[in-house]
Structure 1
Amino acid sequence: MLITEIFKLEDFKESIPYTAIGARTCYSSGDLDYLLNDPRVASREDRAKFLSKLGNYKHFSVFAHSFAYKDLFELDESLIDKYLPETLCTLPKREKAGILALKIASTKFKSHYNPEYPTVVGVSLRHYLEDMLDKDEAEYYKTFEKMAEFDIPIEPLGSQGNTTLIGLIREYDGYAVFYIDNVSRTMTHQLVRHTALNYSQRSQRYVKEDQNLLIIPPSVKGTDISLRKEYISYYLSLIEGYRQIIEEADTKESLRNAVISRMEQFIKEFEKKEEATLEDIFLLTDQLCEAVYDFSVYSGKIKREDARFILPHGRKTTIVVSGTVSWIKDFIIKRTDPHAQWEIQNVAKQMKELLSEQGIDV
């Protein structure tokens, strides 16, 4: 009840679309331009319905991409006193506001407090909705209908490489939202170790992997080794065997044909090669894993969430990352270190450049 008395839904209105784009990233294979034109992101009515569906599932994590700050000193003093022990109510209002800010920051997951602004606290839309659900379930569901009243379009602030800054709050410790595409799951496994940040990643459970290529490290591309054509032929024979089985699968024809076409095209391209580089072996192994994945899904009727266990960590993915600028800076400092792995180091450098373009130094 505390958060919903201090914050209003209107406090989050400008950043609500970031929640929608984070959620659509989980369930869509489209790129950023596609997502920005997706009605569930761009249309306030469709967006509200989509977010309401997530609210029904209690899928709170995506709502963390919407954030707001509040100076509690600006509240009515009686409201501050309501949430403090009676023994503290005789203190000056500014001191009481600081104590309440600390109370919220110490009890709400990933809220934000900085002693430089002792009466200010930052919370996400996630905190607001969770508090509303505890307070009044009927009002909780009405909150999503109210989201349709806000029509704030997303206007990306800049791109560097495969990283786009899609949102930025500048006040106090700020809040930044990044869209990162065409990176490996190996990289995102490292990224999510920075637990102060919030993430929405493309789902292998709900999104087909049919066109999701492997990220090849530069060291692999630059390796001067080769293997005989027999190695290629062996891989292709296995892939062709799975292709023939999938061709007989009792499944939707359009899906089956798309898989068969992709496999045939891959086989055709590799049949021309007279020797295999290490990069070729990576790609052949990836496609063999995908053939087993396709065989499991289309012939074995295995759910994607289980079939994905065979897929390599190097598969490309998409992820939305958000957090206070102070925590984003912490990530950048740690991952621009020369000892950081090349892929996450590149992303950290791109984030740094994008913030620098906005006048924020790291």
Structure 2
Amino acid sequence: MGNEINMHVELLTYTPEARKIAFTAIRTCYSPTEPSDLFEGVQYEKYQEQTATDGQGGSDADRLFRHIVGSGHTSTMEHINFTFALEGVSRVLLAQLTRHRAGFSFSVQSQRYVSDASDKKKGGFHYVVPPKIADIPEAAEYYAELMENLQAAYDKLAQLGVPREDARFVLPNAASTNITMTANLRALLTFYSKRRPGRGAQWEIAQLAEKLRQEVVKAEPWLDPFFEQA
């Protein structure tokens, strides 16, 4: 259906030795040992080798992480950063996402500098279709027709010499964009707690929250329980 697009989320890079960094940050707060020695020394290995004393399984390092997250001392998790490619998300989602400012950095594809004209590289603007519209054939048909009309309006303005920064005013909230986003772990956990599926968030941003969690946990499986607690 036209330039309809689906969301794609990919983890591009993240803090190396994230678990060891978290351990160093936590122990810096409660130990007389210098951070450089905590990171390079034997304490981390000892915590990794010893069985957790809280009866919840894993190593003593796992116990330490559980205690810190459970006690709310999650500033120590701000040292772990994740950078994602977010592709094919709507401008509706962008407006919601950028309300989460603390701990997030965003670089967004510009409608001012990237043309959405049909005869340019993108081949026109791409757009997101809400499931509740897609599920009703008549609504889906009307929606697609509307998108085509808006594309025609953009193209006409471009042909008349209207600059992209002004022609974009006719594009809808449904128009998709691409984002490079970096967030620290604490910010991601807070975001997930507010936007995860089942918490009343709109479908698209709830879908994003879950995809972000999946990408993080795939890279660092030890973080899974902390998203479950969020």
Structures share fold, TM-score greater than 0.5:
yes
Query: How far, CA to CA, are the matches of 1:292 and 1:212 in structure 2?
Result: 12
Distance in 1 separating the partners of 2:197 and 2:211: 13
Q: How far apart are the structure 2 equivalents of 1:293 and 1:321?
A: 28
User: 1:181: Cα distance to partner?
Assistant: 0.7
The CA distance in 1 between the partners of 2:84 and 2:194, in whole Å, is 17
Deviation at 1:199, TM superposition (A): 0.5
Residues 197 and 210, structure 2, Cα contact 8 Å, conserved in 1: no
> Percent identity, aligned pairs only?
28
8 Å CA contact 2:127, 2:176 repeated in 1: yes
CA RMSD of the aligned region, Å? 1.4
> For the residues of structure 2 that align with 1:329 and 1:307, how far apart are their CA atoms?
38
Kept in 2, the 8 Å contact 1:214–1:283? The answer is no
* Whole-angstrom distance in 2 between the partners of 1:165 and 1:329: 16
Displacement of 1:337: 4.2
Residue aligning to 2:11: 165
1:151 maps to none
Q: TM-score, structure 1 length as denominator?
A: 0.40
Question: For 2:10, what is the secondary structure of its paired residue?
Answer: strand
Contact 2:154 2:167 in 1 (8 A): yes
Q: Is 1:319 aligned to residue 226 of structure 2?
A: no
Q: Any conservation in 1 of the 2:106–2:182 contact (CA below 8 Å)? A: yes
Instruction: Quote how far apart the aligned CAs of 1:320 are.
Output: 1.2
Match of 2:105 among 181, 188, 198: 198
Residue 289 of structure 1: which of 122, 145, 150 is its match?
Answer: 150
Question: 2:167 matched to 1:307?
Answer: yes
Provide the C-alpha distance between the structure 2 equivalents of 1:206 and 1:354, rounded to a whole number of angstroms.
30
Alpha-carbon shift at residue 213 of structure 1 (Å): 2.1
Secondary structure, counterpart of 1:179 in structure 2: strand
CA distance in 2, matches of 1:316, 1:323: 21
Task: Tell me which of the two structures has the higher relative contact order, counting C-alpha pairs closer than 8 angstroms and 6 or more residues apart.
Answer: 2
Q: Which residue of 1 aligns with 2:192?
A: 332
Does structure 1 conserve the Cα–Cα contact (< 8 Å) formed by 2:197 and 2:207? no
- The C-alpha deviation readout for 1:60-86, integer Å capped at 9, x for no partner, is xxxxxxxxxxxxxxxxxxxxxxxxxxx
SS in 2 for 1:205: coil
Structure 2: distance between partners of 1:298 and 1:206 = 16
Offset at residue 164 of structure 1 (A): 0.4
Q: 1:212 aligns with which of 125, 131, 141?
A: 125
Query: What 5-or-longer segments of structure 1 have no aligned partner?
Result: 1-160, 225-276
Shift of 1:162: 1.1
**CA displacement 1:1-36 (0-9 Å, x = unmatched):** xxxxxxxxxxxxxxxxxxxxxxxxxxxxxxxxxxxx
**Separation of aligned partners in 2, 1:351 and 1:214:** 21
After superposition, where does 1:1-362 map in structure 2 within 5 Å? 162-169=8-15, 170=18, 171-172=21-22, 173=77, 174-196=80-102, 197-209=104-116, 210=118, 211-223=124-136, 277-299=138-160, 301-338=161-198, 339-357=200-218, 358-359=220-221, 360-361=223-224, 362=227
Can you list the C-alpha shifts for 1:258-279, whole angstroms capped at 9, x where unaligned?
A: xxxxxxxxxxxxxxxxxxx211
Structure whose alpha-carbon radius of gyration is higher: 1
Aligned to 2:39: none
* Moved segments of 4+, more than 3 Å: none
Q: How many residues align?
A: 149
Distance 2:131 2:164 in 1: 30
